[in-house]
Amino acid sequence: MRRPWSFAAPILALTGALLIAACAQAPATTDFGTPDPVDSSGAPTVVPSGPTLGTIPVWLSEHGILLWSPEVTSTGTYAFEIENVGEQNHDFIIVYARSIEAIPVRSDRALLHDQQVVARSPILQPEQSTTMLANLNQPGTYVVLSSQGRDFGLGMASVVTVGGVAGGRAEPIATPPPDDSETINAYLVDDAIFLHQRTVNAGIVTFNVQNIGPSEHDFVVLQWRGDPTALPVDENGDVLLDALVVMDRLPPIPPGDTQMLEVELEEEFAYVVLSSLPGDYDAGMSAQVVPR
């Protein structure tokens, strides 16, 4: 049975929460974070209260942490909707630090006793989720990570940037590509494909495809104007690619790897991206792209 994922195009957290629907997952819980009793300066940390500025969805896997809104423009309290899509237990910790490299590490474990920990989630089992409030009250860069086992050393860390370049702590934002080129970031997990945008300018489009894992997946771009969940399939639920117009494809991508694919998309067509490995499409690994 396919797991239907549906959510709006990503928006910065200030404009509101992304809508995410996922079936067959453990019930979500609400957690207000469990900050360390004191931060690195000795000041007590507190559980945030009051209204939130927005929601930041988070997915945890053995090979990375995916944040759908890695940049927000204002300091304040945000709700992090966290789901463990991996096969092992993970947690989610927010640290105010200038970069991932600034976090000391020993034997692949992050050493946090002298770090300014803002909030931490409970340990999440596979398919478990939670909502955690965190007060990002200083502009700059926050490192998010999992502290379980060797998670940090294996790549389970990312950053959230708050505000502009305040105090020199925020990393510079990359120069956007020219108007005549398009790049779509695509993230593969075992039951979904997440695209950072689904409407692009017609022409050459570069798919920057990262396999979050934990399993191997390929990446196929094909013409299809209808529902991306209604492609022709065989008795096993796998897509009949020979009956469709395949634009291009990437070979199977190992977990944790990133590959790029350039495809020319025409305005008069719509397109579907999917993983065609056995069981992937039936599990929900497809999404639609519409040129304009």
SS3 200: strand
Task: Give the CA dihedral 185, 188, 194, 199, nearest 10 degrees.
Answer: 50
Contact assessment for residue 146 and residue 212, using Cβ atoms and an 8 Å cutoff? no
Please, what are the domains in the chain?
A: 13-162 (2.60.40.420), 182-291 (2.60.40.420)
State the DSSP H helix or E strand holding residue 282, giving kind and residue range, or none if neither: helix 280-283
Contact assessment for residue 269 and residue 226, using Cβ atoms and an 8 Å cutoff? no
Per-residue pLDDT in tens (0 to 9) along the chain, 292 residues: 444 333 333 333 333 333 333 333 444 444 545 444 434 333 334 456 668 889 998 989 887 888 877 888 899 999 999 988 888 999 999 999 999 999 999 999 999 999 999 999 999 998 899 999 999 999 999 999 999 999 999 889 999 999 854 333 333 333 344 445 688 989 898 888 988 788 999 999 999 998 887 889 999 999 998 899 999 999 999 999 999 999 999 999 998 889 999 999 999 999 999 999 999 999 999 999 999 8
DSSP-assigned letter for residue 280: H
Instruction: State pTM to two decimals.
Output: 0.60
DSSP string, 28-69: PEEE-----SB-TTSPBP----S--S-EEEEEEETTEEEES-
Rg (CA), the chain: 20
Cα separation, 187 vs 209, in Å, equals 6
List the structure tokens of 222.
Answer: 């094909």
List the structure tokens of 181.
Answer: 């080129």
